[in-house]
Structure formats: C-alpha cells, structure tokens
Structure 1
Amino acid sequence: MKTLYLFGSAAPPVLEMAAIVEEGQARGWRVCLGLTPTAMRWVGTQVTELERLTGHPVRSQYKLPGEPDVWPQADAILFAPATFNTVNQWALGLTSSFVVGVVAEGLGKGIPIVTMPCVNAAYVQHPQFDRSVDTLRKAGVTVLYGEGGFVPNQPGERRPEGFPWSLALGAVGGILNG
C-alpha cells in the first residue's frame, strides 16, 4: 500500500480534509495528515475523527529528539491547500512549521511532491509569490497553480465549484499509481 502525506495550511479547504482522506483511502492509499499550527486550530474538533480515519496521529509539531517516528515513510506528498505564507516559507527554506520542514527535506530525499496553492488575487500581486512558485517548480515540485490548477479568486470570494481537489488527487494518483 502506498503512503500519501496529506498536508494543509489554514485556508477554508482544510476543513474538507476528512473527505479528502477518505477519497485517498478509496484510491488504495494509506494517508497521514499533517497541518500547519493554525490549520490544526481550525480543524480542532475534527482531530479525533481525522486520527480515527487515518489510523495515525494528526501532526502539526516536530517530534522531540529520540522520539520514534509514528508515520510510515511517504511515497508522495500532497500539500493542499497551501497558503501564500506557506508557499513563500517553503520556497525560502524557512522551516519553523513541521509540514514545511517535511516538504523542504522531501525535496532532498527525492519524494514526489504536489502542491496546490489557495490564495486570493490580492496576495498574488506580491512579487515574492511568483518567485516562490517558480522556485518550487524548478526544485521539481508539481505546482498546480494557474491554468490547469488553482486560479486565484477575489478576496473573500468563494467559488460555487469549490477547491479543485480532483486536480490535486489526480496529480498524486499519477505518481502513486503510475
């Protein structure tokens, strides 16, 4: 069974993680869930159910030295939703967050990584965002952003079709099942 690390940061689609875990499992994957500290606060009341679904602790913090790793090794990582802050931290190598540290290290370990940002049209006007997306793509990350991926919405806007999870899961499926 292939293992997917599913990571998310604090954007509204993170509240849909139970359904995404179940979808990954329906595709035959073992799913381990990691969240930024703020995303962990957002899903607070769902953590017990998410841990039941995955069979593993939901992680948002680094383990202490000497503690065993409680997750199996990843065959692929999906980081979605990835906020403006997360994308920029990752591209700049700022690993104060557990999940950003794992994907930064995952690049060096050769773990296939897919990410789909969830950012609004105001944030993407900042010049660092395009540089960060370009940096991640050059590092080998599949970044589902722009045409064929997440297209930014206006601040405060929610699209009726929702976050394009099917694109993200399809990209991961191409890795894990291909």
Structure 2
Amino acid sequence: MTTSSVPPAGDKKPFLYVVVCASGIAGDVGTLITAARQRGWDVGVVATPQGLGFLDTEAIEAQTGHPIRSAWRKPGEARPLPPADAIAVAPATFNTVNKWAAGISDTLALGILCEAYGTGVPIAVLPCLNAAQAAHPAYRQSLERLTGMGVLIGSHEPHRPEAGGGADGFRWTEALDLLEPGVPA
C-alpha cells in the first residue's frame, strides 16, 4: 500500500470512494464531498448498512452525481461506480475499524476496504468514537494493524461518552490532506 496519492493527470478526474459509517456526524459528509470535488476528485459514497440511515441519500446523490452504494450488486449487474483511486473512511466507527483490521468482510463497505489493501489503493481513515470505546484494547490493536498495512490514520480525538458525538472537532478534510500531502485544505 502506498502512503500517499496524488490524483493522476489527464482528462479523467481521479475517483474517491468515501466510506461512511453509522455515526451521529455522518450526515455532515457533504463537507468532505464538497472539499474533495474542489480539489479535483470525482466522488462516490459507500455507506455501511447502518450508516445509510444517517444520510440524506437524495442530497448526496445529487451532490456526487452517483448512487450511494451499500449492498453487494447481483451477478451480471453493471458496477455503479468506477474503481477507486483512493478511499476516505469518514466517519469510521469502532465497529468498522475493528472488523476491517480483523479482515471481516460482511458488508460491501468492509469488502471494499479489505480488498483495497490487496490492490494498493491508498486509504485515509478518520475515526469517530467515544473515549470509552477507544480505551478497549482491540481498538488500539486495530489501529496498529491498519497503520502497519499502510492505512493513513487521522488525528481526531475520541469524545466523551454521551457528549454528542464530537461533531464540532471533526476535521472532515483531514482525509484529503492525508491522501494529498502538501495540498492546502
């Protein structure tokens, strides 16, 4: 896995998958989509099945011009999104981080993340969880494993349990900064 990605040159815009998990701040993902489009990315959203319920699907599909994916496609169905040039996982929950690090691929989002390692697609992850979850030893081990796989981990600090999800301190564009070092936010 590479540690950085500069969008490729040419007529085709590089394609960024934004993987969205079930977090109270997930509804603000449009902030990341807007910033990515301003930096020259085409964007598609892949939501975990639970994360889908946190999104305004019509607004996001209008913003990206692509359908939100959350379920596996049937054999023979066309791929609704082009292959990813990079992936931003934001917000990334305790559950997704731990399942991904363990190689569990029981949702489309996790399947994409697990396969991305094998194909070398750069990934930045912005965890969003509370301090009680972050204290669990499995979480620290999962971050270590993902870091060892070349995944770029954002700096968001866990919030207090029952404190509203930490929306005010979440740095959506940090995922882009990690994927594109040297490009101003």
Normalising to structure 2: TM-score of the pair?
0.87
Q: Identify the match of residue 29 of structure 1 among 35, 41, 44.
A: 41
Distance between the aligned counterparts of 1:84 and 1:132, measured in 2? 10
Given the superposition, is the C-alpha separation of residues 127 and 51 from structure 1 closer, same or farther in structure 2, using an over 3 Å criterion? same
Deviation of 1:175 after TM superposition, in Å, equals 9.2
2:78 aligned residue: 68
Q: What is the percent sequence identity of the aligned residues?
A: 35
SS state of the match for residue 25, structure 2? Answer: helix
**For residues 104 and 54 of structure 1, what CA distance do their matches in structure 2 show?**
24
State the match for 1:15 in structure 2.
27
Deviation of 1:172 (Å): 2.4
User: Post-superposition shift, 1:166?
Assistant: 2.9
Determine the C-alpha separation between the residues in 2 that align with 1:59 and 1:103. Answer: 14
Distance 2:126 2:60 in 1: 21
Q: Which residue of 2 aligns with 1:88?
A: 98
Q: Which runs of 5+ in 2 are unaligned?
A: 1-12
Residue pair 1:91, 1:133 contacting (<8 A) in 2 also: yes
1:154 maps to: 160
Letter in 2 for 1:120: N
Instruction: Figure out how many residues of one structure are paired with residues of the other and give that number.
Output: 171
Task: Return closer, same or farther for 1:175/1:103 CA change in 2, 3 Å cut-off.
Answer: farther
Structure 1 residues 86, 29: CA separation in 2 closer, same or farther (over 3 Å shift)? same
Query: Runs (4+) of structure 1 moved beyond 6 Å?
Result: none
- The answer as to whether partners of 2:29 and 2:90 remain within 8 angstroms in 1 is no
Greater helix proportion: 1
Structure number with greater CO (CA < 8 Å, separation at least 6) is: 2
Are 2:173 and 1:166 aligned? Answer: yes
Q: Is the 8 A contact 2:17 2:44 kept in 1?
A: yes
Distance (Å, rounded) in 2 between the aligned partners of 1:161 and 1:25: 22
